[in-house]
Amino acid sequence: MPHAVSRLRTARLARASKPFLARGGPRNARCAGCRLNPGHCMCALRPVVPGVNAGVCLVMADIEALKPSNTGWLIADVVADTFAFEWARTVVDPALIALLADPQWQPYLVFPGEFVAAERVVTEVLPPAAPAAGAPAKRPLFVLLDATWPEARKMFRKSPYLDKLPVLSLQSEQLSRYKLRRSQRDEHFCTSEVAALCFALAGEAHVADTLEAYLDVFTNHYLKAKQQQPLDLEDAAHQRLKKLHTPIGTHFV
């Protein structure tokens, strides 16, 4: 069954007035499951990570779901409870508002603390508050603004429904390894890297490790396809991913 980002991509394509042509990469048909040239398809390597406690809410800029290089898609591949919504300045999806208010979740807006009032900033995933009698503890829900950095700052400023959420400010010395759409600043992570850091903070190290390994394999396949080079399925990136998961081996339809 298509995941949330796949469904959002389909809906966005249905509204498009002309075909979306990604810059760079192949101009021919792409696999519907991984967005790669079929000769470099990685659907059979998609990880299965059962029992994930935390969830991810992707608030995506207008054409972000259409970009083959988007890594929010990778999060949705790995984490079953991934939700995706298209951002618009004047319209808010009621389903997004309902999700943020759902009592099973404790949402965290993930954003640099330097741009936020100090009282909103947290640097760790807080222990769940004592639940009401008979109610389960709340699960972390990481709200990620999936966009370029200038777009993300605009989304942050112009989304008042996010103003009451605690802001999770990530503190990491790790430099970004993302090679497909390079930020001008190495400390700006891609969306999948941000999610991996969040899951590590939530104590779900296996999910974090899987996301990191899956991103490395995706980057490998994407660049090899772009450069029209053959794959090495036994290289270090593939071996690391194989050690972490059982492949799902299926395509989206």
Instruction: Tell me what the pLDDT averaged over the chain comes to.
Output: 87
- Tell whether the torsion through CA atoms of 6, 198, 110 and 112 is positive or negative: negative
- Tell whether the torsion through CA atoms of 196, 202, 203 and 207 is positive or negative: negative
- Assess contact for 25 and 109: CB atoms under 8 A: no
pLDDT score for 187: 56
Local confidence pLDDT in tens for the 253 residues of the chain:
899 999 999 999 888 766 555 554 445 688 989 999 999 999 999 998 999 999 999 999 999 999 999 999 999 999 999 999 999 999 999 999 999 999 999 999 999 999 999 999 999 997 655 455 566 789 999 999 999 999 999 999 999 999 999 999 997 776 677 667 555 555 578 999 999 999 999 999 999 999 999 999 999 999 999 899 999 999 999 999 999 976 655 433 3
In order of 4, 54, 148, 154, 213, the CA distances from 45 in angstroms are 19, 22, 27, 35, 11
- Assess contact for 197 and 172: CB atoms under 8 A: yes
- Tell whether the torsion through CA atoms of 3, 4, 10 and 13 is positive or negative: negative
- Assess contact for 141 and 107: CB atoms under 8 A: yes
- Assess contact for 129 and 189: CB atoms under 8 A: no
Half-sphere exposure of 142 (CA within 13 A, CB side): 34
Q: Give the pair of three-digit tokens for residue 71.
A: 């890594």
Q: Give the pair of three-digit tokens for residue 75.
A: 């999060």
pLDDT score for 129: 53
pLDDT score for 25: 46
Going by C-alpha positions, the residue among 114, 21, 125 that lies closest to residue 67 is 21
pLDDT score for 21: 56
pLDDT score for 137: 84
187-226 per-position pLDDT tens digit = 578 999 999 999 999 999 999 999 999 999 999 999 999 8
Where b means 16+ CB within 10 Å and e means fewer, 25-45 reads: bbeeebbbbbbbbeebbbbeb
- Residues near 217 by Cβ (< 8 Å), separated by ≥ 6? 42, 45, 237, 238, 241
pLDDT score for 177: 72
Q: What is the domain partition of the chain in residue ranges?
A: 4-14+47-125+136-172+197-204
Cα of first residue to Cα of last residue in the chain, in angstroms, is 7
pLDDT score for 17: 61
pLDDT score for 252: 37
